[in-house]
């Protein structure tokens, strides 16, 4: 089974802090994604990466950056956390050997971040 893990299930930070969210997958997937999920808004894509050291902006990249130094690890960075970044953050990965399987994403357990 594909396993996607995230560094923390719950995190509480203060406004202005730099926050690192880590995601690791063990299935050698090329593609990795960071989403945030808010009630009534569904999943919104922040950033994604289709290869090591590659990154693409999603729909809501402002206030975030990412790092992918190794294939299995994709990090989300909040440079200066703000209260409107309080949310559930979900990491996902997918293979890219066929166009259809590219999109079958496997999710990690999520990190619920609260910024005070």
Say whether residue 60 binds another protein (CB under 8 A).
Answer: no
Beta bridge partner(s), residue 87:
113
Distance of CA 44 to the CA centre of its chain: 10
Say whether residue 26 binds another protein (CB under 8 A).
Answer: no
Burial category of 25 from C-beta neighbours within 10 Å (exposed 0-12, middle 13-18, buried 19 and up): buried
Distance of CA 61 to the CA centre of its chain: 11
Say whether residue 74 binds another protein (CB under 8 A).
Answer: no
Q: Tokens for 27? A: 């299935």
User: Near another protein by CB under 8 A, which window of 11-19, 40-48, 66-74, 77-85?
Assistant: 40-48
Nearer to another protein, 80 or 103 (CB): 103
Of 10, 40, 62, 69, the residue at the interface with another protein (CB under 8 A) is 40
Of 19, 29, 48, 87, the residue at the interface with another protein (CB under 8 A) is 48
Q: Tokens for 35? A: 């989403």
User: What three-state secondary structure class fits 100?
Assistant: helix
Q: Tokens for 87? A: 């949310």
Of 10, 69, 84, 100, the residue at the interface with another protein (CB under 8 A) is 100
Question: Which residues sit at the interface with another protein, rule CB under 8 A?
Answer: 31, 35, 40-45, 48, 50, 56, 58, 90, 96, 99-100, 102-110
């Amino acid at each position: 089974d594909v396993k996607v893990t995230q560094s923390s299930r719950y995190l509480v930070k203060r406004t202005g802090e730099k926050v690192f969210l880590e995601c690791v997958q063990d299935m050698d997937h090329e593609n990795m994604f960071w989403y945030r999920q808010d009630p009534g808004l569904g999943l919104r894509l922040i950033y994604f990466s289709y290869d090591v050291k590659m990154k693409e902006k999603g729909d809501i990249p402002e206030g975030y950056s990412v790092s992918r130094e190794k294939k299995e690890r994709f990090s989300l960075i909040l440079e200066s956390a703000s209260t409107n970044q309080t949310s559930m953050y979900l990491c996902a990965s997918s293979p890219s050997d066929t166009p259809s399987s590219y999109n079958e994403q496997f999710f990690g357990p999520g990190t619920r971040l609260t910024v005070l």
